[in-house]
Amino acid sequence: MKNIIELKNLHKVYATGTHALKGIDLEIKEGEFCILLGLSGSGKSTLLRCLNRLIEPTSGDIIIDGIDVVAAKGKQLRYIRRKIAMIFQQFNLIRNLSSLTNVLTGKLGYSSLVHSLTFPQHKKDTKIALENLKRVGLKEFAEKRTRNLSGGQQQRVAIARALMQNPKVILADEPVASLDPATADSVMRYLGELNKKDNMTVICSLHFLSLARKYGTRVIALKDGKIVFDGTPKEIDEKRFKEIYGQDAEEVEIR
């Protein structure tokens, strides 16, 4: 399998002086399900947001699907972004709009301004959006405003929005951290399905080892902006776990 993501010596220093990423070197192969572990503040969100340039990296190289992400500007950056979908802890849906419209926004990277303002007139887009909603089991919620949905349902709408982008890579920043355990597992199951069936590469930050073992094909752990572990989920034993999360940490099970 070819590398879909290559990072070379990636650094991020915030305007406040915080050195959040300290030289990340990483290669991720197409089809991997990568779990990012690490304490709060270890740099997981920063790393994920550098990949689609929601945050500007300070130095280093990012190559995604053969394209230099750091050098991209304007239109080119839009083309890259639409191939990389993102899922957030807080779902980040537009709460006043319907699920269907929210899913349609996944198409924005492909649409002109006029096209995007007349989404309801484009039957083909609507059809695909409805299919995506159906895929996450929310077809009957299409017309409902997303603020009336439960957390799990909102995250599934967010997954349908991501699907709308027809992405090669999915970045998920603690997608289940605001959900109860059962819902968390069901959301992870959808991500797992996209990874296996649609061959989308997933990079997902998590706090639960049990979920990492269940869905991840690879685990990368960050500590103070550096990679401190890179291997398979099975390789993480208690000793490794304590290295990542500190001596006092206890593993919490979630099934």
Partner 1 sequence: MKKENKLKLNIQAILTDLLFWIYIFGCASFLMNHWFEKVIPNNFVVIFGIVVGLITFILGISVGRKVFLPTIKTDRKWHKTFWGWSVFFILLITFVVGWNLVEVDLYKLFAKFRNAGGIMGGIFNPNTDIFVLCLSALAETIYLALLATVFAIPLAFILSFFAARNLMPRTFLGNTVYIIVRTIATVFRSIEAIVWAIIFSVWVGIGPFAGMLALMIHSIASLTKLYSEQIENIDPGPVEAIKATGASTLQTWIFAVVPQIISPYLAFTIYRWDINVRMATIVGFVGGGGIGLLLLQQQQLLRWQNVGMIIWLIAIVVWIMDMVSAKVREKLQEM
Ligand X SMILES: Nc1ncnc2c1ncn2[C@@H]1O[C@H](COP(=O)(O)OP(=O)(O)O)[C@@H](O)[C@H]1O
46 binds partner 1 per the rule CB under 8 A: no
- Cβ distance to partner 1 smaller for residue 40 or 247: 40
Q: Which stretch binds partner 1 (CB under 8 A): 19-27, 93-101, 177-185, 242-250?
A: 93-101
The footprint of partner 1 on residues 12-31 (CB under 8 A) is: none
Q: Decide: 81 and 107 in contact? Cβ < 8 Å.
A: no
**Among all chains, which residue has been given the structure tokens 């094909």?**
217
Residue from the set 90, 148, 199, 232 that interacts with partner 1 by CB under 8 A: 90
Binding-site size, Mg ion (CB under 5 A):
1
146 binds Mg ion per the rule CB under 5 A: no
Residue from the set 4, 24, 47, 80 that interacts with partner 1 by CB under 8 A: 80
List the x/- string, 99-128, binding to partner 1 by CB under 8 A. Answer: ------xxxxxxx-x--xx-----------
Sheet holding 201-205, edge to edge: 84-87, 169-173, 201-205, 33-37, 218-223, 226-231
42 binds ligand X per the rule CB under 6 A: yes
Q: Which stretch binds ligand X (CB under 6 A): 1-9, 35-43, 162-170, 187-195?
A: 35-43
Q: Which stretch binds ligand X (CB under 6 A): 26-34, 43-51, 57-65, 226-234?
A: 43-51
Q: Which stretch binds ligand X (CB under 6 A): 12-20, 121-129, 136-144, 206-214?
A: 12-20
Nearest CA to 10 out of 51, 42, 64, 39 is that of 51
Residue from the set 32, 34, 43, 219 that interacts with ligand X by CB under 6 A: 43
List the x/- string, 24-63, binding to Mg ion by CB under 5 A. Answer: ---------------------x------------------
Give the residues lining the site for ligand X (CB under 6 A).
14, 16, 18, 20, 38, 40-46
